């Protein structure tokens, strides 16, 4: 989402490298590039202006800390302001869950923002965290909207409410009674949207709000629409009093202006972001982590959390035991590729690794999803025996594998070379001698970045 903004800001920071100190002149030069980056990212003009003013004031009023050059000091200031403008430190709990269930969550937004699919994603997120959500279809105006909710709810493994009621408010009331009677602890109401805001829509939502007294009113905003999403969020907030925002389609070609501006315009935090089309693709929004990503500092914490959730510790332990016995095979390499795919695209993963943005051009051809697919096709064309014992792969077998995968013998050889290098490296890392050396360095505090 913030790829262009990251590139522009990195360029702005680079202009301060080698400067002996922060001065009004070099700060102005850097801020000029930052200003252009924000406006090109479709950030609200007033938000951009106040952000730049605060950065300038902090930069001019700060002393360069010992050990930090001016560029590092400026990055630190921009990072803190970015975090603040996007909502500051994230709440420990993203949603206000009631002690006496059910917690009522009312989802609102314009038509086409991904509201119905986001209801299912939120339900799956809540299920993972020990809750039992019930989804209620209150969009009776859009054809097939009710059936769509039932389908996505089933995909998420959640229950959806079925009713013969003819009005949205009657459906919501019946769903609330059902949730209370059967012990569902969260009721998610999928309300109607329109292509634009109108009085009929707002009146309908106000009636539902009065009838169900929702604990959370979440505005679902399409991040692809930029400032239109922010303006719509402001209008919904004025009428209904939002408690938070969910940004959808952040994996698309959006410029990030909505994420940057919505907190300042509505006063309400972004609570979640949709990162793909699957029901698993909903992440908590952490302003500090997002600020790190924008500045090319990566997001290791989110990467670790996703790895724990989608890969699991059991798989990691299984590989570790094989490494100890020097039994790592092509079958294990294939398994690793499949596990990595669960975490998302390579571009997304690379964006979470600190400092990787500066090497993006070099990595573009070497580490792409396309290359991963080619390697996986080669591995799939091998027999189970060949994957377990790479020494079986003679010239005749390699030709057969190349033909079966639609790749070349040269690519098969390249994969085998990478496998052997990977096996050697992983064996060294898992060896007791290597671990003792690491522990010794840790004890002597000799790590270069400690």
Give the domains, in start order, of the chain with CATH numbers: 3-85 (1.20.120.140), 103-297 (3.40.50.300), 303-444 (1.10.260.30)
Phi, psi for 364 (deg, rounded to 5): -60, -40
Q: Which residue has the tokens 């019946």?
A: 174
Helix axes 70-85, 24-40, angle to 10 degrees: 40
- The model carries a pTM of 0.67
**Closest Cα partner for 344 from 244, 277, 257?**
277
The pLDDT mean for the chain works out to 79
Confidence check: pLDDT of 154 > 50: yes
**pLDDT of amino acid 444:** 44
pLDDT digits (tens, 9 = 90+) for 252-306: 655 667 777 888 888 888 999 888 888 988 988 888 888 877 776 654 455 555 5
> Which residues in 172-261 belong to E strands, given as ranges?
186-191, 216-222, 244-248
First-to-last C-alpha distance (Å) of the chain: 31
**Any alpha helices (H) in 366-408, and if so which ranges?**
369-380, 384-388, 395-405
**pLDDT of amino acid 304:** 52
Q: Check if the beta carbon of residue 187 is closer than 8 Å to that of residue 176.
A: yes
**pLDDT of amino acid 78:** 85
Bridge partners of 274, per DSSP, are 282
pLDDT digits (tens, 9 = 90+) for 379-414: 999 999 999 899 999 999 999 999 999 999 999 999
Confidence check: pLDDT of 196 > 50: yes
Cβ within 8 Å of residue 216, ≥6 positions away = 95, 96, 103, 104, 105, 106, 243, 244
| Sheet of strand 244-248: strand arrangement | 159-160, 133-138, 186-191, 103-108, 216-222, 244-248, 270-274, 282-284
Q: How confident is the model at residue 316 (pLDDT cuts 50, 70, 90)?
A: low
Averaged over 159-180, what is the pLDDT? 93
Could you tell me whether strands 282-284 and 270-274 are parallel, antiparallel, or unpaired per DSSP bridges?
antiparallel
Q: How confident is the model at residue 447 (pLDDT cuts 50, 70, 90)?
A: very low
Q: How confident is the model at residue 133 (pLDDT cuts 50, 70, 90)?
A: very high
**Closest Cα partner for 103 from 75, 81, 79, 122?**
122
- Going by the DSSP 8-state scheme, the letter that residue 224 receives in this structure is G
């Amino acid at each position: 989402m913030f790829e262009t903004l990251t590139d522009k800001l990195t360029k702005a920071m680079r202009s301060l490298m080698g400067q002996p100190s922060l001065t009004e002149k070099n700060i102005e030069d850097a801020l000029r590039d930052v200003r252009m980056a924000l406006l090109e990212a479709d950030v609200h003009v007033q938000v951009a202006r106040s952000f730049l003013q605060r950065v300038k004031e902090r930069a001019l009023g700060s002393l360069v800390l010992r050990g930090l050059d001016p560029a590092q000091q400026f990055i630190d200031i921009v990072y803190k302001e970015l975090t603040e403008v996007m909502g500051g430190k994230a709440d420990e709990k993203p949603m206000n869950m009631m002690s006496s269930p059910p917690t009522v969550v009312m989802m609102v937004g314009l038509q086409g923002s991904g509201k119905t699919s986001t209801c299912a994603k939120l339900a799956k997120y809540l299920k993972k965290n020990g809750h039992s959500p019930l989804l209620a279809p209150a969009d009776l105006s859009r054809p097939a909207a009710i059936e769509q909710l039932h389908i996505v709810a089933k995909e998420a493994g959640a229950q959806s409410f079925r009713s013969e009621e003819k009005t949205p408010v009657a459906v919501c009331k019946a769903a609330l009674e059902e949730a209370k009677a059967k012990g569902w602890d969260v009721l998610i109401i999928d309300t109607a949207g329109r292509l634009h805001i109108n009085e009929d829509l707002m009146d309908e939502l106000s009636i539902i709000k009065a009838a169900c007294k929702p604990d959370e009113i979440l505005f679902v905003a399409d991040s692809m629409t930029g400032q239109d999403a922010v303006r719509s969020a402001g209008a919904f907030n004025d009428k209904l009093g939002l408690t938070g925002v969910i940004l959808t389609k952040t994996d698309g070609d959006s410029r990030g202006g909505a994420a940057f501006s919505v907190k300042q315009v509505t006063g309400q935090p972004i609570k979640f972001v949709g990162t793909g089309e699957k029901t698993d693709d909903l992440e908590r929004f952490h302003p500090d982590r997002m600020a790190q990503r924008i500045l090319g500092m990566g997001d290791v914490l989110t990467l670790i959390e996703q790895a724990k959730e989608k890969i699991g510790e059991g798989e990691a332990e299984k590989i570790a035991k094989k490494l100890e016995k020097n039994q790592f095979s092509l079958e294990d390499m294939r398994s690793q590729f499949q596990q990595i795919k669960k975490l998302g695209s390579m571009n997304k993963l690379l964006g979470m690794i600190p400092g990787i943005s500066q090497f993006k051009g070099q990595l573009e051809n070497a580490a792409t999803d396309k290359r991963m697919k080619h390697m996986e096709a080669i591995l799939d064309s091998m027999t189970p025996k060949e994957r377990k014992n790479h020494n079986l792969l003679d010239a005749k077998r390699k030709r057969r594998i190349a033909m079966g995968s639609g790749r070349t013998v040269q690519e098969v050889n390249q994969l085998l070379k990478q496998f052997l290098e990977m096996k050697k490296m992983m064996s060294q890392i898992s060896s007791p001698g290597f671990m003792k050396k690491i522990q010794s360095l840790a004890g002597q505090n000799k790590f270069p970045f400690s």
